[in-house]
Amino acid sequence: YIDFLQRVTGRPSMAEFPTQLRNTSKQRVSYYFNHDVGNFHFGAYHPMKPHRLTLTHNLIVNYGLWKKMEVYRPRPVDAPQMMEYHSSDYIDFLQRVTPENVSSFGDLLKRFNIGDDCPVFDGLWDYCRLYTGGSVEGAQKLNHKQTDIAINWAGGLHHARKDEPSGFCYINDIVLAILELLKYHARVVYIDIDIHHGDGVQEAFYSTDRVMTVSFHKYGENFFPGTGDLNEVGHKRGKYYSVNVPLHNGVDDRSYHSIFKPVMESVMAFYKPQAIVLQCGADSLRLDRLGCFNLSNKGHAECVRYMKSFNLPLLILGGGGYTIRNVARCWTYETSVLLDTEVSNELPFNDFLEYFAPDFQLHPEVSMPFKYDNQNSRQYLENIRMQVVENLRLLQHAPGVQMHEIPPDTYLTDLEEEDERRPDHRMTQMTRDRMVEGDNEYYEGEYDHDQQGEEEDEDDFGGRGGGGGGRDDDMYSYGGGGDNDSIHNQQQQDSEQLDE
């Protein structure tokens, strides 16, 4: 009966490609989000909508997933850190160009590929600094073993090149994060499940054996960016360290996993990476505005679950995704997968609930037939798998590196550095963040010791005359003692001083 339903509906069971989960329940997860990153706007008709990040964060908060993670506001990355990969001329251009002065840059606009795909919009430089900060800080946390999984859904902009933007991407936060990871890890594997080829990351590491790039993407029919053929395997020292899996229209969950899991199993066995970077572009989902694949949320998340099962330091990044309600659903569900937490299919009440009408579900049922037929035959996928495995076999061994002094972090992890850098500010953002109380500060429940203490204080208050004896009496009285009248008089004096 199950087989009959699968054939009739065309929706195979995930049980056909089960993931054997290892002991991952104790993995520490850190989450990076800056509220400002969702407020930028590429333009009225531009498909890239940073607002999708606000929707995602809102669902994560209202599902209560934030309680199971360490939540951080990442610091913006400065120009010198970006120039660890990008050219100084390009970074200088991004810092100076604005919608008001863009016409004065003349030929530089063509040189730096400014146009409809990559426009100049208000706050462009700040946007780049914010989304890059979460990726770099997440990599640093992994380096120092302060977390096992780091999530930055604002990152994953994989098309940006060394000296120009491309495909809605201006700064390649992935490359900068990988460079950070390479300071502590001999080998890093980068995996890309965006529908578009991860050309910017592949280009950055095309000639090295310390990073293996693996991309599963649509290829052919002039699909952007036009790279990612099976024969793009790397160059010189990096030969066979670039793995490309070109796919055709309409790939569904079953077909995708039939190639993803065997390829990644071989990559992990042959390359033996010490850290994983996974770009989770959501434009490979069914019904994406710019996509042509047929993956479901659960099918997309199965790739995340599989890579998590290897129990290696894992950096999770966002990427493409242009039907924003589906992007938010997908990344929220994948956050729950990373936390080993089941969440309800019914969406919780949140500030943007109307975006998810009419079903208001995390995994809505889609009754309409697939827009794209699956053009990836079983034989085609098997041929790709065999070719990839054959290339991997040409690698003699997992490459190592000579011992060397570990370079310093991209920026100091000491938060005091931010305060010292801006002494004219009465209170910096980092200072305000440090004043946020933890969850246990306002714990409410049967075993709330604070509440018990308050009840005891109320019982004893009359006997103590508002002070003298008991715990922390200075918290409850002005001047360490006295009666209620003296407290009232002191409050009046304070009020008069404030009025003056």
Name the strands in the sheet holding 70-72, side by side, starting at the edge strand that comes first in the sequence. 70-72, 29-32, 149-152, 314-317, 275-279, 188-192, 211-218, 242-247
Rounded to 5°, the CA angle 359-284-38 comes to 70
Residues 134 and 152 sit within 8 Å (Cβ to Cβ): yes
Residuewise pLDDT in 10s, the chain (500 residues): 445 444 444 444 444 455 544 445 579 999 999 999 999 999 999 999 999 999 999 999 999 999 999 999 999 999 999 999 999 999 999 999 999 999 999 999 999 999 999 999 999 999 999 999 999 999 999 999 999 999 999 999 999 999 999 999 999 999 999 999 999 999 999 999 999 999 999 999 999 999 999 999 999 999 999 999 999 999 999 999 999 999 999 999 999 999 999 999 999 999 999 999 999 999 999 999 999 999 999 999 999 999 999 999 999 999 999 999 999 999 999 999 999 999 999 999 999 999 999 999 999 988 778 889 999 999 999 999 999 999 999 987 777 776 667 777 765 444 445 555 555 555 555 555 554 545 444 444 555 555 444 444 444 444 444 444 443 333 333 333 444 444 445 545 555 554 54
Is-contact 176 82, C-beta < 8 A?
A: yes
Q: How many angstroms separate the CA atoms of 307 and 260, rounded?
A: 10
Q: Which amino acid is at 392?
A: L
| Residue length of the chain | 500
Helix (H, G, I), strand (E, B), or coil: what is residue 31? strand
Distance, C-alpha 259 to centroid of its chain: 24
pTM passes above 0.75: yes
For helices 124-143 and 173-181, give the axis angle rounded to 10 degrees: 20
Active-site residues, by number, are 159
Proportion of the chain in helix, strand, coil states, percent, rounded to 5: 40, 10, 50
Residue written as token pair 């999530």? 151
